[in-house]
Amino acid sequence: MLFHAVVALSAFLLFLVQPLIAKQILPWFGGSSAVWTTCMLFFQAALLVGYAYADWTPRHFGAKRQPLAHIAVALLAALSLPILAATHWKPEGSEEPISRILMLLTVTIGLPYVLLATTSPLIQSYFARLRPGRDPYRLFALSNAASLGALVAYPSVIEPWVGTRWQAYAWSVLFAVFVLLLSTLAWRVSRTPTADNDASQAATSPRGASAGAPALSTRLRWLALSAVGSMLLLAVSNHITQNVASVPLLWILPLTLYLLTFILVFDGTGWYRRGVFAIAFVPSVLGMCFLLISKDYQFDLIVQTTAFCLGLFVVCMFCHGELALAKPQPAYLTLFYLRIAAGGALGALIVSVLAPFVFDIYVETALALLLATLLFVPVARALRGWLLWPSLALTLVVIGATIGYVREEYKNAVAISRNFYGVLKVKTYGEPDSPDYLVRLVHGAILHGEQYPVGSLRREPTTYYTASSGFGRAVELERRQAPKTHDAQRIGMIGLGVGTVAAWCRRGDWCRIYEINPEVERLARRHFSFLADSLGQIEVILGDARLSLEREANNQFNVLAVDAFSGDSIPMHLITDEAVRAFMAHVRHGGILAYHVSNRFLDLPPVLAEIAARQGLAGVVVNDPSQKDNALHSSSTWVLLAREHTSLAPLGDAATPLARQPGAPLWSDDFNNLLSVVKWAW
């Protein structure tokens, strides 16, 4: 029971700390989903370090001294508690985020995470020595089941009820309990006579394990199978959250299926059957390839999520099932897990770091499918000879789909840029000299602005900033209410887009725009003319908007607009009680704080209603539906906040009161829960 308790608790804490620490630092780096991908890289790398420790220390310290040394490491890790990220790690401007995130995580949770990572392989090696003849790999299935439990429990049970700081304290208490249990077990192992019996390490391997020392080709195959599974996990997560639908926490479903495959194949009850999954492999990969190149279902969340998640499950069952079939005897158990961890880290490195530098579009999904197919070919040939030709044909199909996908991504694109924050594309439609010539900036599935650069429409505000939008009405309202002696407007904007807000600036107006992604400013200045054509004074401040505003004196904005809620990268730190209070401090008396809350998947007005009630602010909602006869116009929803009702009263029937909903939570920097505002009927 002690073996099972230590393995289960370590795995639970290992996966519980991942969303916990990621949520702590997410606001500091713009709320981007790339923060999670970078965290995954750290988790995979730390797992590799832990598995290397589990493989190296028993051989160099010996069976009696290694458990005692491990107790010392556990006690040292406990000194890192509690796991609260220090605020001095907050970026101050446009610092390179990946290395900063990795260093922050190393300092904050590095040693505790590595200790947890060592537990599964190390305890299994203890179990193999003390219980020769029994299958230690079933402890790996238990480990993954506990990890899955933590992954499901966090968004559904923990996050809705417990603030971030108390989550960290509770996790730290459980970690202290884990250290106590682990130290007890390690002490008992060190005192057990069989611990010195080297012959016990060569105990008969469980059914299905290979005999003798693994060959180099076998070790490389372990690495490749693990890397492809990890790579496809992150690639599919990126694909469905960036290019299909911006659904918060949608990455949980792929990760759940990924863990489930490990549980099933290492359970020891025969869930993985080569023949069954070899047959399922071909249509699964074909289906994903079809959706990569087809535009008919590009934004169909149900079709895309179903096909890619089922495909991920089948491919990972194949990869991890082959790993289970090739597992060695217990004497080489830690070496086996070390190769698996190395493969997982390699896959995460390719998607998180190498791909953004090498490719300017998301090709990781197609590349992972191609690598999986290449691993499938020899298995198909060994299983049944006639499967060789279909597997080779499948390889050609995947290559063709990759070429077709790349061509489609570059279609109509005059500029493509990729960095930590994702892929930005500038697309053009129509003849360059025609008044109908249109230039758009898109980020994944999200439109970030557009302009008709030729003719009379060149200076006209478009999309979510037309005169009938909530932002347009706020600016016009302030112009009418401003005293004649202060006719010039001071406008603030969080989120640059293509710079459409500059079209609202008249001569003498001053507009300060905050943008976290430097590539957005570069593309906005090079391919759009809103910033250059503006009659007002325009400033673009790079860096996180809230951190920048906290360092500035009172700006006395007539209108301060927050437009950062149109993607899966929901910067929750911009829509908390503390954020609204900080923003209102920069709005002049009688001015307006405007939130653009158009979102297909999130219902954000109730969040702002609770904050407004807490701070005694007046609020209205401006719903601006699409207009078929107006090419400049896009439907939008804005929430306008002011200190007094009289500031918003002139809007009349164009706005509706901001209404509170029973049971709606108050979001703060310490507590916010996306599941509470998800629109379940899409």
Per-residue three-class SS string for 369-433: HHHHHHHHHHHHHHHCHHHHHHHHHHHHHHHHHHHHHHHHHHCCEEEEEEECCEEEEEEEECCCC
Beta strands at 490-494 and 510-515: parallel, antiparallel or unpaired: parallel
The mean pLDDT value of the chain amounts to 86
Q: Is the pLDDT of residue 59 over 90?
A: no
Angle at 391 between CA 388 and CA 394, to 5 degrees: 150
Q: Mind listing the pLDDT tens digit for each residue in 261-311? A: 988 888 767 789 998 999 999 999 999 999 998 878 877 778 888 999 999
Q: Band of the pLDDT at 503, cuts 50, 70, 90?
A: very high
Taking the C-alpha atoms of residue 477 and residue 591, their distance in angstroms, rounded to an integer, is 10
Let me know: does 315 contact 29? Beta carbons within 8 Å. no
Q: Mind listing the pLDDT tens digit for each residue in 188-229? A: 888 877 544 443 444 333 434 444 678 899 999 999 999 999
620-627, long-range: CB within 8 Å, 24+ apart, which pairs? 620/648, 620/651, 620/655, 620/656, 620/657, 620/658, 621/470, 621/655, 621/656, 621/657, 621/658, 622/469, 622/470, 622/473, 622/651, 622/654, 622/655, 623/656, 624/466, 624/468, 624/469, 624/470
Let me know: does 331 contact 214? Beta carbons within 8 Å. no
C-alpha closest to that of 143 among 285, 23, 13: 13
Taking the C-alpha atoms of residue 558 and residue 275, their distance in angstroms, rounded to an integer, is 68
- For helices 33-78 and 216-238, the axis angle rounded to 10 degrees is 130
Q: Is the peptide bond before 155 cis (omega within 30 degrees of 0)?
A: no
Q: Band of the pLDDT at 559, cuts 50, 70, 90?
A: very high
Q: What's residue 204's pLDDT? A: 34
Q: What's residue 208's pLDDT? A: 42
Beta-carbon-side half-sphere exposure of residue 163 (alpha carbons within 13 Å): 10
Helix (H) or strand (E) segment spanning residue 492: strand 490-494
Burial label, 297 (beta-carbon count in 10 A; 0-12, 13-18, 19+):
middle
Beta strands at 446-451 and 490-494: parallel, antiparallel or unpaired: unpaired
Q: Which residues does residue 491 pair with via DSSP β-bridges, in sequence order?
A: 511, 559
Helix (H) or strand (E) segment spanning residue 657: strand 656-657
Q: Is the pLDDT of residue 37 over 80?
A: no
Q: What's residue 194's pLDDT? A: 53
Let me know: does 366 contact 243? Beta carbons within 8 Å. no
Q: Is the pLDDT of residue 413 over 70?
A: yes
Q: Write down the pTM of the prediction.
A: 0.82
Q: Give me the residue label for tokens 């999309």.
A: 463
Q: What's residue 386's pLDDT? A: 75
Let me know: does 574 contact 564? Beta carbons within 8 Å. yes
DSSP string, 137-190: THHHHHHHHHHHHHHHHIIIIITTTS-HHHHHHHHHHHHHHHHHHHHHHHHHHH
Q: Residues near 219 by Cβ (< 8 Å), separated by ≥ 6? A: 335, 339
Helix (H) or strand (E) segment spanning residue 561: strand 557-562
Let me know: does 502 contact 538? Beta carbons within 8 Å. yes
Q: What's residue 201's pLDDT? A: 44
Q: Mind listing the pLDDT tens digit for each residue in 21-30? A: 887 887 677 6
Q: Is the pLDDT of residue 589 over 60?
A: yes
Q: Is the pLDDT of residue 402 over 90?
A: yes
Distances (CA, A) of 58 to 121, 175, 633: 11, 23, 67
DSSP string, 458-469: TTS--BTTSTTS
236-249: burial string, b at 16+ Cβ within 10 Å, e else: bbbbbbbbbbbbbb
Taking the C-alpha atoms of residue 208 and residue 677, their distance in angstroms, rounded to an integer, is 48
Taking the C-alpha atoms of residue 215 and residue 127, their distance in angstroms, rounded to an integer, is 25
Q: Band of the pLDDT at 567, cuts 50, 70, 90?
A: low
Among 55-64, 221-230, 465-474, which stretch is predicted with the lowest mean pLDDT?
Answer: 55-64
Q: Which residues does residue 548 pair with via DSSP β-bridges, in sequence order?
A: none
Taking the C-alpha atoms of residue 529 and residue 524, their distance in angstroms, rounded to an integer, is 8
Listed ranges 259-263, 296-300, 403-407, 677-681; the one with the highest mean pLDDT:
403-407
C-alpha closest to that of 77 among 45, 38, 46, 33: 46
Q: Mind listing the pLDDT tens digit for each residue in 318-353? A: 999 999 999 888 788 888 988 998 999 999 899 888
**Residue, of 203 and 249, whose pLDDT is higher:** 249
Q: Mind listing the pLDDT tens digit for each residue in 95-152? A: 678 888 899 999 999 999 999 999 888 888 888 777 777 777 778 788 888 988 888 8
Q: Band of the pLDDT at 570, cuts 50, 70, 90?
A: low
C-alpha closest to that of 424 among 569, 595, 237: 569
Q: Is the pLDDT of residue 631 over 80?
A: no
Q: Which two tokens stand for residue 408?
A: 């489609």
Distances (CA, A) of 88 to 28, 34, 43, 84, 92: 11, 21, 22, 12, 9
Q: Which residues does residue 621 pair with via DSSP β-bridges, in sequence order?
A: 639, 656
Task: Classify 266 as helix, strand or coil.
Answer: coil
**Cβ atoms within 10 A of the Cβ of 318, count?**
27
Q: Mind listing the pLDDT tens digit for each residue in 151-181? A: 888 888 888 888 888 999 999 999 999 999 9
Distances (CA, A) of 233 to 168, 279, 308: 27, 21, 10
185-188, long-range: CB within 8 Å, 24+ apart, which pairs? 185/2, 185/3, 185/6, 185/123, 185/126, 186/67, 186/68, 186/70, 186/71, 186/74, 186/126, 187/67, 187/68, 187/71, 188/2
Q: Is the pLDDT of residue 566 over 70?
A: no
432-439, long-range: CB within 8 Å, 24+ apart, which pairs? 439/414, 439/527, 439/528
Angle at 513 between CA 509 and CA 514, to 5 degrees: 160
Q: Residues near 237 by Cβ (< 8 Å), separated by ≥ 6? A: 37, 250, 251, 254, 255
Angle at 35 between CA 31 and CA 38, to 5 degrees: 175
Q: What's residue 603's pLDDT? A: 87
Burial label, 184 (beta-carbon count in 10 A; 0-12, 13-18, 19+):
middle
Distances (CA, A) of 224 to 228, 289, 649: 6, 21, 64
Q: Residues near 273 by Cβ (< 8 Å), separated by ≥ 6? A: none
Q: Looking at residue 123, what DSSP letter applies?
A: H
Q: Residues near 589 by Cβ (< 8 Å), separated by ≥ 6? A: 643
Q: Is the pLDDT of residue 31 over 70?
A: no
Alpha-helix residue ranges (DSSP H) falling in 239-300? 252-265, 274-293
Taking the C-alpha atoms of residue 119 and residue 114, their distance in angstroms, rounded to an integer, is 9
Taking the C-alpha atoms of residue 636 and residue 626, their distance in angstroms, rounded to an integer, is 8
Domains of the chain: 1-195 (1.20.1250.20), 214-411 (1.20.1250), 461-677 (3.40.50.150)
Q: Which residues does residue 557 pair with via DSSP β-bridges, in sequence order?
A: 587
Let me know: does 246 contact 568? Beta carbons within 8 Å. yes
What percentage of the chain exceeds 90 in pLDDT?
49
